[in-house]
Structure 1
């Protein structure tokens, strides 16, 4: 009887040890992945917009995906540089700064359909062409924004108007700028395609038209810190390529993420694709890309 009790005790100990080993192995398998988004502040907003996507990404990769909220674009750059975050979803204007300061790796492009900059004027006003804007006031939105500042300025440059020489650039928030344009205080406003739809809804008694449209803007991009292993990088890229529709379905559950509706994840994105953004910076007089405009 004593031998049997010793045997059972030993067996129980072995089972416990095996269970602990299995638990430890599972914990090691769930490698942590820290994820940030530059244009969303606070953990609550991240969870609202990207919670379903995070859960799906974790299930597909086997990683423990953890949100890393950032308070600004600069904070996101510093976090990536100091290896406090692994992956960052950011816009094209921000990407060139991340690249210059952190040598970030491109993982996957996040396409935004109909993502281009425009110059909008009053349909019944005196401005009928880009040439009519010479000597006039043109408003741009958020400083350094790809589609509200850099892109519209580049659209005018592509059509022959030199920034801050052939016209007077103003930085005014979009709705306030439109009200000023209606009054005649400024003559044009730079914005993207989705913004124009919102403006038409906000000001239904007024007619607007477009006198300049830029080329489609480079994609938003998911980047990785240079500290991220090639294995993790390859796993992430493979999951986006093979399960793109599933991941996108979770992304667009967020209200702000409707901008990605109808888009795709693009695996052929390269750093040179953002040279057009670098030319935008040069257009407004910025030739170094190691700081965000307006910071």
Structure 2
């Protein structure tokens, strides 16, 4: 009996400890199936690099991600720059790493043979923006115009219209410019091959997407995850890029030296559209 107990104890000590489970959400992907399609390969690569059990946790919205963080249902959240400043205000998370998106900037697009030849020609005209609160379709384009001296609601009329509908309105002459990012313009040119479009204003590169750890996640776990991105960044990026939508990160890097102040430009964008506090998501 005694020998059996000793053998059982020896076996227990010899068995590896179960990996600690941490949950990760992505704010712009709804549903577990879509999340797995984009991030399953990354999930496996991050598990290998950290020794942690990474569990993908679907959220239905950015608000749901905040509630999940508050309830400690999720430990890490990948989100965009516009969402970050609100999540920061609401949950005070810790920055882990930024996910760089090359050539991620906002721009103002007009018809090449239309009446607008410069940004100043947009005074008194109508400019459309896409998804409310989007960094590159709403906040960023509005800030591009603000940086060039045009005040929303004073120098031009702003309207929120979905991108393809807005371009159709642009072609008809109902609006004079559309705000969008570089990849959007590529799709628009493919969708409207008989039309020529011109960029009359381009903004600075937008702040990066960012991986956050909710308040309360242990320093040891945060350090393991951050070190994985520092030491195995190429492998992790290769895994990320296996997701179709994640091709937006192609050519980018993971950046570990990131400060909250890097997102003050996004706070300026909110102020440009008339939002002075950051306790709610625009459009909710």
The TM-score range, normalised by the shorter chain, is over 0.9
Q: What secondary structure sits across from 1:70 in the alignment?
A: coil
Matched, 1:19 2:11: yes
The structural deviation recorded for 1:15 is: 3.0
Gaps of 5+ in 1: 1-8
SS in 2 for 1:106: strand
Rounded Cα–Cα distance in structure 2 between residues aligned with 1:11 and 1:202: 76
Give per-residue Cα distances to partners, 1:208-267, cap 9 Å, x unaligned.
000111100000000011111111111111110111000000000100000000000001
Match of 1:174 in 2: 163
Residue in 1 that maps onto 2:269: 280
Q: 1:127 aligns with which of 93, 116, 124?
A: 116
* Aligned-pair CA distance for 1:14: 3.6
Q: Does 1:251 align with 2:240?
A: yes
Q: How many residue pairs end up in the alignment?
A: 284
> Of the candidates 87, 97, 104, which is equivalent to residue 93 of structure 2?
104
Q: For residues 134-192 of structure 1, what are the alpha-carbon distances to aligned partners after superposition, in whole Å with 9 as ceiling and x for unaligned? A: 11111100000000000000000000000111111010110111111111111110000
Q: Distance in 1 between matches of 2:7 and 2:196?
A: 76
In structure 1, distance between residues paired with 2:20 and 2:148? 50
**Partners of 1:18 and 1:57 in 2: CA distance:** 31
- In structure 2, distance between residues paired with 1:68 and 1:181: 40
Q: How does 1:220-231 map to 2 (within 5 A)?
A: 220-231=209-220
Q: Corresponding residue for 2:144?
A: 155
For 2:162 and 2:14, the matched residues in 1 are separated by 56
For 1:1-295, list aligned pairs within 5 A. 11-23=3-15, 25-27=16-18, 30-295=19-284
User: Which SS does the other structure have where 1:26 is aligned?
Assistant: coil
CA distance in 1, matches of 2:267, 2:33: 33
Q: Distance in 2 between matches of 1:242 and 1:63?
A: 16
Q: State the structure with more CA Rg.
A: 1
CA distance in 1, matches of 2:37, 2:116: 42
> Structure 2 regions of 5+ residues with no counterpart?
none
TM-score, length-scaled by structure 1: 0.94
Q: What whole-Å deviation, never above 9, does each CA across 1:1-21 have from its counterpart, x for those lacking one?
A: xxxxxxxx6545543443344
> What TM-score do you get using the length of structure 2 for normalisation?
0.98
User: For 1:40, what is the secondary structure of its paired residue?
Assistant: coil
Q: Distance in 1 between matches of 2:31 and 2:12?
A: 36
